[in-house]
Amino acid sequence: MEPKLKAAFIYNFAKFVEWTPIDSNNNSSQPFVIGILGTDPIVKELMAIEGKPIKGRNLILKPLSNIKEINDCKVVFISASEKNNLIHILNAVKNKEILTISDMNDFVENGGIIGFVRVENKIRFDINLKTAEDSHLKIRSDLLTLARKIKN
């Protein structure tokens, strides 16, 4: 159940974030790409939502074999299996309009944008607002109010 819930969160997070090129240019022929780094049970659940619309575009999932493949991604889910590469990954996406999401411990504290956390057997999330702003992403206030913690 947890991977399915996280996949739904990821899909909905994308609806509450504004990317300048997407939101100012209505070219709906280009897909909305969610990249996946690492191995995780969430991949199967994310595949189930492939093709659904996000911001007027078709959702495409892209398993990434290395960080060089992220350039066409709007969202990148970083699996906990990539913990040893986290600093390298976050440096590669720094200041790019890419929403980073993970369920790694201390993801937000290490510079990721949205990190899943477990609180009393419930899935919650923290947001690093400064990193989002540095990446030129605008997180809508209705998503911010749902966050467990916001790091500025």
Q: Which amino acid, 146?
A: L
Q: What is the pLDDT of residues 107-130, one digit of tens each?
A: 999 999 999 999 999 999 999 999
Q: What is the pLDDT of residues 53-80, one digit of tens each?
A: 998 999 999 999 888 899 899 999 999 9
Count the domains in the chain.
1
CATH of the domain at 74: 3.40.50
- Domain of 92 in residue numbering reads as 2-151
Q: What is the pLDDT of residues 32-53, one digit of tens each?
A: 999 999 998 888 999 999 999 9
